[in-house]
Amino acid sequence: MPRLLLLLAACVRHGAGFVPSRLPAHSARPAAAAASGLRMMPLGIPKVPYRMPGSQQADWVDIYNRMYRERIIFLGETIDDQIVNQIIAVMLFADSEDEKKPQYLYINSPGGSVTAGLALYDTMGHVSSDVITVNVGMAASMGSFILGAGTRGKRIALPHSKTMIHQPMGGARGQAEDIRVQAEQIMKIKASMVDEYAMMTGQTRERIEADLDRDNYMTAEMAKEYGLIDEVVDSIGTKGADKKFS
């Protein structure tokens, strides 16, 4: 009996990690699986079926890849060069395919690299298609800067999302002259961001400078009043809002 139990446990353990790489065009699946079209891996990124145009079979692709094909981008981590370079590549490709269709950038990020964030900010202004930004959790620091950089009139937030703005931070080490140069660069970046925040929100430079001196948290409604977003959308009206802003 113990040997049989061990064998059954091994079968369950190996079976749980099995996910087919391809899905036949007319395969039979349980009703629940067919309805959701979703496969959850034990660990890692969920996979969903996607059938390429003209293909008879569906491939299992990770959910972010599938979202990219619908012009949906999710920024859900610390902003750094790697994630920003990926987002920029997706934005440029989507813009080259159809510059008249909007792109959706969903944000839930604590912020991160200022230089990487500025690269994404400039790309959002460079592409011809509208970029609809959506705060789905927390848009803090550089995340708030990206949120406000969406196409004017098409920056939205979910009701319980939070936004936080503050001045850029940095560290320097080395000789006194090196530290002075780094400090000057940070002050130049701060001045540039003050100008951009003022343009995004319609607030004066003086107020922006004062508000950036500390961690300044805002609810969704406060962010709307401040000018960082244009609409607060509840979960029931999201689809209607998508149509409204597209």
Q: Which residues are the active-site residues?
A: 141, 166
Contact 141, 111 (CB under 8 A): yes
Spell out the residues 6+ positions from residue 23 whose beta carbon is closer than 8 angstroms to its own: 49, 57, 58, 59, 60
The dihedrals phi and psi of 19, each to the nearest 5 degrees, come to -135, 120
User: CA–CA separation, 31 vs 47, rounded Å?
Assistant: 18
Distances, alpha carbon 94 to alpha carbons 53, 90, 133, 156, in Å: 17, 6, 16, 21
At what angle are helices 176-201 and 114-126 packed, to 10 degrees? 40
Where b means 16+ CB within 10 Å and e means fewer, 129-148 reads bbbbbbbbbbbbbbbbbbbb
Spell out the residues 6+ positions from residue 32 whose beta carbon is closer than 8 angstroms to its own: none
Residue 231 bridge partners (DSSP) = 156
The dihedrals phi and psi of 112, each to the nearest 5 degrees, come to 155, -135
Strands (E), 13-149: 22-23, 47-50, 58-62, 72-75, 103-109, 131-140
